[in-house]
């Protein structure tokens, strides 16, 4: 169960920012004893991989805070974030951490399963983020973009660390995600209803 929560938390984090969970695992695996990556994922702790992730993260941090550019970035990240989520879930779920002492044969017979789960979870978070951001930009004339982006980055960092150190708390984040999705669906339903009512009122006779 803890392996699932660790992988889920890292994948959800990738849905907000593709590089933060991968970089978190790489740095912690390389410089601390907090996490031990499984054999097939130790490349995340390689110096060159970490350097590349730092550069990509720097670009992402800037691009996601500029109105209009953030929308273009979200379109590009529709492929990148789910991919990173799959990698994060696959690596995180099979890692030995301070909480998960024996990942054992978790999904061992079907190693592609955790990757697919991570892709789906990260894609869901990414789509929610992409749907909420235009609402924020429209409501604040673009001023809210950097604030929202900074909050998302902070959440991604926190989520990555929680997934590794206290995976049980990932349940809180997943619950918040469900509530946010419910709020977004209701908001869109009400807006469509208001538009239809406005068009009906404008009809002659």
205 residues of the chain, pLDDT tens digit each: 677 788 888 988 999 899 999 999 999 999 988 888 887 788 999 999 999 999 999 999 998 888 888 888 888 888 899 999 888 888 887 777 766 665 655 555 566 667 777 888 888 888 888 887 777 777 777 677 788 888 889 989 998 998 888 887 778 877 877 787 677 667 767 776 766 666 666 656 5
Count the Cβ atoms, other than its own, within 10 Å of residue 137.
18
Whether 15 contacts 124, CB under 8 Å:
yes
pLDDT of residue 56: 93
d(CA 36, CA 26): 10
pLDDT of residue 22: 93
Phi and psi of 67, rounded to 5°? -55, 145
Domain tally, the chain = 1
Whether 45 contacts 37, CB under 8 Å:
yes
What is the model's pTM? 0.78
d(CA 83, CA 42): 17
Closest CA to 126 of 87, 82, 170, 182: 82
Q: How many residues does the chain have?
A: 205
Which residue range forms the structural domain that includes residue 188? 2-202
pLDDT of residue 167: 80
d(CA 27, CA 20): 10
d(CA 114, CA 106): 9
pLDDT of residue 24: 93
């Amino acid at each position: 169960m803890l392996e699932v929560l660790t992988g889920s938390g890292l994948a959800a984090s990738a849905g907000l920012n593709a590089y933060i969970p991968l970089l978190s695992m790489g740095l912690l695996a390389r410089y601390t004893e907090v996490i031990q990556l499984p054999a097939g994922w130790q490349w995340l702790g390689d110096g060159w991989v970490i350097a590349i992730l730092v550069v990509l993260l720097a670009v992402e941090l800037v691009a996601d805070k500029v109105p209009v550019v953030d929308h273009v970035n979200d379109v590009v990240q529709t492929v990148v974030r789910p991919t990173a989520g799959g990698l994060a879930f696959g690596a995180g779920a099979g890692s030995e951490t301070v909480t998960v002492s024996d990942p054992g044969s978790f999904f061992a017979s079907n190693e592609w399963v955790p990757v697919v789960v991570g892709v789906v979870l990260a894609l869901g978070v990414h789509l929610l983020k992409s749907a909420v951001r235009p609402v924020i930009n429209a409501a604040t004339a673009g001023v809210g973009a950097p604030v929202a982006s900074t909050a998302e980055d902070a959440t991604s960092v926190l989520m990555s660390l929680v997934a590794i150190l206290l995976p049980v708390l990932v349940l809180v984040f997943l619950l918040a995600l469900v509530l946010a999705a419910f709020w977004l669906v209701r908001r869109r339903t009400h807006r469509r209803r208001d538009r239809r009512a406005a068009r009906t009122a404008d009809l002659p006779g």
